[in-house]
Structure 1
Amino acid sequence: MTTTPPVHCKNLWKIFGARSAEALAAAQAGKVDKEEALKQFGCVIGVADASFTVNEGEVFCIMGLSGSGKSTVIRHVNRLIEPTAGQVHVEGRDVMALNATELRNVRARKIGMVFQHMALWPHKTIAENVAFGLEVQNSPRNKRRSAAEEALQKVGLGGWGERYPDQLSGGMQQRVGLARAMAADPDILLMDEPFSALDPLIRKDLQDEFLKLSREMKKTTLFITHDLDEAMRMGNRIAIMKDGRIVQTGTPESIVLRPETDYVARFVQSISTLKYISAAEIMTNKPVMPNAPVFGPSTPLPALLDAFKQGADHLAIKDGETVLGRIGQADVLATVQSDLARV
């Protein structure tokens, strides 16, 4: 049985400019790239033929440098931006076909959005800010209050509901924004560089907090970032964008270990591959001694290193009772040296 993905975008194009139709036709025919479209038509290609699916419960990261098109993409999902061409489906519904009332309902009940800058109402209390989405839905006052308190507890701000935004630090205000998005209990979260303006330590704390909440609440998340380390840490899968195009999509492991273009290879060059390498990728077919510690083929390299620290001479790699190969200390050393030389 197949399930409908929460978010599915197919052949999405967004071209800004008065001659967008002409630029689109030329771009789709392969006659112009982003630079040529600007020269010939005075148009900017924001998104070029982007296709991706966000599966239920996963954190799907879209990353790229400034101007790559990542923030433009995410704004199509809740139709803050109208596409020039292509399809956007949310839980199987064509977002472009929704009327104004239907679109408001999807935004209010199905999708929560967290921006880099929260734009909290300064004259409202923290609890009132968090409950604002439910207020728009005309939820009863006691329900709004209860949901706001619960959401604030989840993001570590229990007891702060009666304060005002100017009494909170930047990191705490970002937590309020996350609580506001979660208070309405949406199925899908859109997060556009939500932590990028924060200090590194606060950012890491909020990343940890969000990942914990995401696992507990099983939220489907589309997460935008320009930071490769953040994408590697947050995403179940990652799409890398360049000049409006998605140039590679995959797991963090596949992005780092198997870049498909020179651009992606340069992007991930500074990332250590060691934590992404598994036993299957470095084992050899040399004989295995009976007393060798046994590991599965998907065991990550750090766990193998721990075994050698305990005094193992070599490791047996098995799939059930089947011996697949072995890993010796020299195999691990060669892998570490190769990674150091790469970085």
Structure 2
Amino acid sequence: MSSRLEAEHLYKVFGRRPEEAMERLRQGADREELRGDGTTAAVLDVSFTVEPGQTFVVMGLSGSGKSTLLRMLNGLLEPTAGHVRFDGQDLTQLSARDLREVRARKISMVFQHFALFPHRSVHENAAYGLEVQGVPRDERDERATRALELAGLAGWEKSWPDELSGGMQQRVGLARALATDADLLLMDESFSALDPLIRRDMQDQLIELQKKLKKTIVFITHDLNEAMRLGDRIAVMRDGRIVQIGTAEDILVRPADDYVASFTQDVDRSRVLTAESVMDTDLSGDEADCACETATPATPFNELCAISARVSHPVAVLDKRKKLVGVVPRQRLVGYLGDEQGTPVRCGTPRDKAVTAGA
């Protein structure tokens, strides 16, 4: 079973006197004030927990501090202050030698630009982490072959990296991480350099692998749609700080502030929301006919729209015991699909063909 990851009050300040700058920040100094002194406050007082087997996505714009944060989680960057705990160890207290051992055996990283060795075959690249660990050749060959099969690269073992497409090269990088059987995978915008179709295919691949392997994953992205697809929980970063942590539904339905809300304007909400997200639990005013088509709390949004189009009253939402727990009026569905100009969008209608929908 994978182990829990904890980040506690992490700071990372670059400059000549980072400790002094950090104290100024704690006392209320602005990030921009420090920049005038040649100091960059990259990560500010970040805390979170990732449970075993969970995919935790950190998203934010360029310069928000997300990649710096990721590199503190495996000790590639030393925090100015704070702690990182994994598998019962405080990584910030380990010697350089012990930290290298943890990175070799417990934590793997998948980079944005593949980081493959051009003079090594696909199989040799996949086995590299095991070679560093000193794993005997027969065992590392077997484990690398199994990892390549999991990543969908069976039959490509003898190929060279330059013979593969970008998506296949990224699969090799993923296989190399899987071969070490590390409990924690750190993925730094691993799919952002890929074409959209290949990127979606890699997202699907990661989702399927996670169902089988139940790894603990921290995934960095600047794409909210990607975050919504992959993340069990999502952290939104701005100017070095985490401004909200929650599920995809939390981010969409209950944004912490205007900054988070601005990210959700162009998200395909129908892929995230369920009946439970949008139903009205105040049953005193609305009546729903439970004799015809109904929904459950887990009914996907698109299916809910289809049901609403077939009935002339609010859709009834029933739990497993067939008890009425909520209703969804048609106008509520329309409201959740309104675009940034406030134009309502009919269920099933693409955003660029928005039409006014009657409630």
* TM-score, length of structure 2 as denominator length: 0.88
* Pairs aligned (count): 339
Q: Judge conservation of contact 2:2–2:216 (CA < 8 Å) in 1.
A: no
Please show how residues 215-234 of structure 1 align to structure 2 within 5 Å.
215-234=211-230
Please show how residues 1-343 of structure 1 align to structure 2 within 5 Å.
6-30=4-28, 32-39=29-36, 41-280=37-276, 281-283=278-280, 285=283, 286-309=286-309, 313-319=313-319, 320-333=321-334, 335-337=336-338, 341=343
Q: Which amino acid aligns with 1:139?
A: V
Report SS of the residue matched to 2:175.
Answer: helix
Report SS of the residue matched to 1:65.
Answer: coil
Deviates more, 1:317-326 or 1:100-109: 317-326
Instruction: Provide closer, same or farther for how the CA distance between residues 81 and 279 of structure 1 changes in structure 2, counting only shifts above 3 A.
Output: same
Instruction: Provide closer, same or farther for how the CA distance between residues 337 and 138 of structure 1 changes in structure 2, counting only shifts above 3 A.
Output: closer
Instruction: Provide closer, same or farther for how the CA distance between residues 312 and 81 of structure 1 changes in structure 2, counting only shifts above 3 A.
Output: same
User: For 1:263 and 1:332, how far apart are their aligned partners in 2?
Assistant: 24
Shift of 1:257: 1.2
Q: Judge conservation of contact 1:58–1:236 (CA < 8 Å) in 2.
A: yes
Instruction: Provide closer, same or farther for how the CA distance between residues 217 and 33 of structure 1 changes in structure 2, counting only shifts above 3 A.
Output: same
| Stretches of structure 1 lacking an aligned partner (at least 5 in a row) | none
RMSD in angstroms over aligned alpha carbons? 2.2
User: For 1:290 and 1:231, how far apart are their aligned partners in 2?
Assistant: 36
Q: Judge conservation of contact 1:57–1:218 (CA < 8 Å) in 2.
A: yes
Instruction: Provide closer, same or farther for how the CA distance between residues 119 and 315 of structure 1 changes in structure 2, counting only shifts above 3 A.
Output: closer
User: For 2:259 and 2:334, how far apart are their aligned partners in 1?
Assistant: 28
| Stretches of structure 2 lacking an aligned partner (at least 5 in a row) | 345-350, 352-359
Deviates more, 1:79-88 or 1:168-177: 168-177
* TM-score, length of structure 1 as denominator length: 0.92
1:63-91 CA deviation, whole Å, 9 max, x = no partner? 11111100000111110000100111112
User: For 1:309 and 1:288, how far apart are their aligned partners in 2?
Assistant: 14
Report SS of the residue matched to 1:36.
Answer: helix
State the percentage of identical aligned residues: 47
User: For 1:210 and 1:292, how far apart are their aligned partners in 2?
Assistant: 39
Shift of 1:332: 3.6
Report SS of the residue matched to 2:12.
Answer: strand
Q: Which amino acid aligns with 2:107?
A: I
Report SS of the residue matched to 1:269.
Answer: helix
Q: Judge conservation of contact 2:64–2:238 (CA < 8 Å) in 1.
A: yes
Q: Which amino acid aligns with 1:7?
A: L
